[in-house]
Amino acid sequence: MNPTADIETVLGTAASSTRRRLRIAVLLGILLAAAGGFAWYLLSASNQKAVLQYKTEVVQRGDLIIKVTATGDLQPINQVEVGTEVSGTIRSVEVDNNDRIQAGQVLARLDTERLEAQVRQSRAALEMARARLLEAQASVLETRNEARRIRELRKKNLVSDTDVDAVEARLKRAQAAEASARAQIEEASAQLSVNETNLSKAVIRSPIDGLVLERAVEPGQTVAASLQTPVLFRLAENLTQMELHVAVDEADVGNVAEGQAATFAVDAYPGRSFPAHITKVRYAPQTVEGVVSYETLLVVDNSDLALRPGMTATAEITVQSLTEVLLIPNAALRFTPPTAEVEQRRGGGLVGALLPRRPSSAADKRRREDDDSARQKYVWTLRAGEPVRVGISVGASDGRMSEVRAGELQAGTVLIVDTVAKSR
């Protein structure tokens, strides 16, 4: 017998026995942990079911008003920018900010020395043109008489055909000179009209009855109208009626229409609400930092002149009004009993809780949201102290309450909206 071989055999048998015992111990530990977890799961579920308390609200009938919120600013209905079409120096300014004005009232005057000189020059040019016309008319008359005499002499063979042709040519030249003189009169008259118009424009008048919102000119200031008309005054026709321009989000514009009523508030008058109604929803989109909105115009009564142009306002537009409908709180739609949540997450038991789950992708999340919107909604009511799920179909919502269109609910039904406490 080989002593070395015997020792190796004994050592190998001992190592194998140790490994078997280790495997058995690990397996027993796993089984004990699983049994303990399962016992804890059953105990916690039963305890939770026994001590859970709920916050409830009652289904009721009432009115539901759906509103769309939008922000914007107040503007006059008719706002006019008054400028000057002629260049020059402002000689005087006749009005100031906030002054009430009438159509035709003088707002400012320009220095007219240069314009008056241009008018005098044009008048002189017109007189010269008229004088040239008289001269041309006299020449035509003289040449016509001469041509008549030459024709008479030609009949008596006292002059040649060449003499007749020459006088006829002189007559035509005289007539052309007369026509040219008449055209020069028209030209001089038109230039005089232009210069007189420019002179009249040196007196700047209001085109409307209203109020001076802004005066942007001072006496002695030089204005140049060669490239574009400079704005000197900004006028508002009537501030007792104003417009509120708001930006309605593209998600809400489908519910907004002309004639809908609205209310709005401004920071200048906290707690006060002003009425308005929509007159126009414009089709042209406005895109700011990727957000698309549509400008909507509302008419505002401002008889007390409390509102001012440029004020920022937040409007609430009433897009739908329902009366005497079955209403439930939106919190009831969001509520799910904790036990049901655990079951949904664990897949129906301890095994589902222990097994790993595939992470949800964004596409899965969107798909679930679409499915939720397509399927009926569920709420939970209390029956014999136990939460019971009830399927319903919901309609319009104002963000706090929702209309119930179909389902096994009636006014007075108690719905669970939240879990309030646990006691042990």
51 confidence band (pLDDT: 50, 70, 90): low
What would you measure as the largest C-alpha separation in the chain, in angstroms? 181
Give dist(CA 52, CA 145) in Å, integer. Answer: 129
pLDDT at 68 over 70: yes
| pLDDT score recorded for residue 241 | 92
Range in 28-32, 72-76, 241-245, 382-386 with the lowest mean pLDDT:
28-32
pLDDT at 364 over 60: no
373 confidence band (pLDDT: 50, 70, 90): very low
pLDDT at 187 over 80: yes
> Which residue, among 318, 305, 79, has the nearest Cα to 212 in the 3D structure?
79
186 confidence band (pLDDT: 50, 70, 90): very high
Residue spans per domain, the chain? 52-62+325-422, 112-201
| pLDDT score recorded for residue 351 | 45
CB 271 within 8 A of CB 291: no
| pLDDT score recorded for residue 321 | 87
Contacts (Cβ under 8 Å, ≥6 apart) of 217: 90, 93, 108, 223, 232, 233
CA neighbours within 13 Å on the CB side: how many for 183?
6
Per-residue pLDDT of 190-203, as tens digits, reads 999 999 999 999 99
Share of the chain above pLDDT 70, in %: 82
pLDDT at 393 over 70: yes
Phi (first) and psi of residue 331, to 5 degrees: -60, -30
What is the arithmetic mean of pLDDT over 244-257?
94
What is the arithmetic mean of pLDDT over 417-422?
74
Give dist(CA 260, CA 253) in Å, integer. Answer: 12
What is the pairing mode between strands 386-397 and 88-93?
Answer: unpaired
Under DSSP, the state recorded for 18 is H
What is the arithmetic mean of pLDDT over 30-37?
74
Give dist(CA 334, CA 326) in Å, integer. Answer: 18
Give dist(CA 122, CA 353) in Å, integer. Answer: 101
- What residue type is assigned to position 286 of the chain? Q
Give dist(CA 380, CA 375) in Å, integer. Answer: 16
What is the pairing mode between strands 60-76 and 88-93?
Answer: unpaired
Range in 18-22, 71-75, 194-198, 363-367 with the lowest mean pLDDT:
363-367
CB 296 within 8 A of CB 379: no
| pLDDT score recorded for residue 25 | 74
Per-residue pLDDT of 105-162, as tens digits, reads 999 999 999 999 999 999 999 999 999 999 999 999 989 998 888 888 888 888 888 8
| pLDDT score recorded for residue 345 | 42
- Helix and strand numbers (H, E) in the chain are 7, 19
Select the CATH number that applies to the domain covering 52-62+325-422 from these four: 2.40.420.20, 3.30.1360.120, 3.20.20.10, 3.30.1540.10: 2.40.420.20
CB 309 within 8 A of CB 75: yes
Give dist(CA 308, CA 302) in Å, integer. Answer: 9
pLDDT at 348 over 50: no
Per-residue pLDDT of 165-175, as tens digits, reads 898 899 899 99
CB 234 within 8 A of CB 214: yes
Give dist(CA 353, CA 101) in Å, integer. Answer: 80
| pLDDT score recorded for residue 33 | 76
pLDDT at 363 over 50: no
Please, is 400 exposed, middle or buried when counting C-beta atoms within 10 Å of its C-beta (0-12, 13-18, 19+)?
exposed
Contacts (Cβ under 8 Å, ≥6 apart) of 257: 278, 281, 319
| pLDDT score recorded for residue 32 | 77
